[in-house]
Amino acid sequence: MGEDVRTRWRGRSTAEGWSLADDWWAPAVEYAIKAATRGGDLPRACEELGAARAEAGVGITEGLNDLAALFAVTDRGEPSFPLVRAYAAGWAEQSFAPMNDLRCEDPLTGLATVGYLRTRLGELYRGAAAGGHLLVVAEPYGPIGEPAERLAAALNLATALRKVFTGGETLALLAPVRVGAVTTEDERLPDRLARLRTTDILYGRHPRVRVRRLPRAHAQALALIRTLTLGP
């Protein structure tokens, strides 16, 4: 039975766009098949599968499509949100393993938490250096309804932010599908914004990118952050 499921799963995944034909199999595949067909620990299997896919260089969207293919060929319908999150957590932990020694970070995206961002702003304002800083905010245009797609968009936004801002900027997760970077205004900023705006975050969709100058007063900056933590 396992071999039949494996063959159908791989075929379904390939038909839906799997791009690494030679790297599809991994030990985690067998674990996932066993859990899906024999009542094993499915959340753990999904987490292990996510980690294996990340180690092989598979993107989060492609990996979630592969997970959905397993559920389709085993007649389990769509993977539930807890299982999608387990998969994404495994993928993120493996992808951001070099960053595990950091503190005050969101465990899924690896970006700084809002709490840490507030701390960082306090440091900037105490040093009277906030006047030259900007807050770059990136998010999808319009709502994203499916939990798996929201997770994929958030992870892709986090990855894009890291690729664009590679210096000492503070990169934070502001809301479930909204990220931000505290940076300075210099000659490199227009190019960085252009690259961020052309990033594919979900099925060819590009992010909405806004640039806000940090207010002169610390309290106003905190109020700005509060508004940005509401949704989406």
The predicted-structure confidence for 105-130, as pLDDT tens digits, reads as follows: 887 888 998 888 988 888 888 776 65
Tens of pLDDT, residue by residue over 151-189, are 889 999 999 999 999 988 999 999 989 999 999 988 999
> How would you classify residue 9: left for phi > 0, otherwise alpha for psi between -120 and 50, otherwise beta?
alpha
Give the C-alpha separation, 117 to 127, whole Å: 15
Q: Does domain 114-228 have CATH number 3.30.70.270?
A: yes
Q: How many whole angstroms from its chain centre is CA 109?
A: 5
pTM flag (> 0.95):
no
Residues whose CB falls within 8 Å of the CB of residue 90, separated by 6 or more in sequence, listed in order: 46, 47, 48, 49, 50, 51, 52, 54
pLDDT at 111: 92
Average pLDDT in the chain: 87
Assign 196 to helix, strand or coil: helix
Confidence grade of residue 22 (pLDDT, cut at 50, 70, 90): low
Is residue 102 predicted with pLDDT exceeding 50? no
Going from the C-alpha of 223 to that of each of 54, 140, 172, 217, the distances in angstroms are 37, 22, 16, 10
pLDDT at 98: 52
> How would you classify residue 231: left for phi > 0, otherwise alpha for psi between -120 and 50, otherwise beta?
left
Confidence grade of residue 23 (pLDDT, cut at 50, 70, 90): confident
Q: Give residue limits of the domains in the chain.
A: 2-95, 114-228
Give the C-alpha separation, 21 to 98, whole Å: 27
Closest C-alpha among 84, 56, 88, 85 to residue 71: 84
Confidence grade of residue 36 (pLDDT, cut at 50, 70, 90): very high
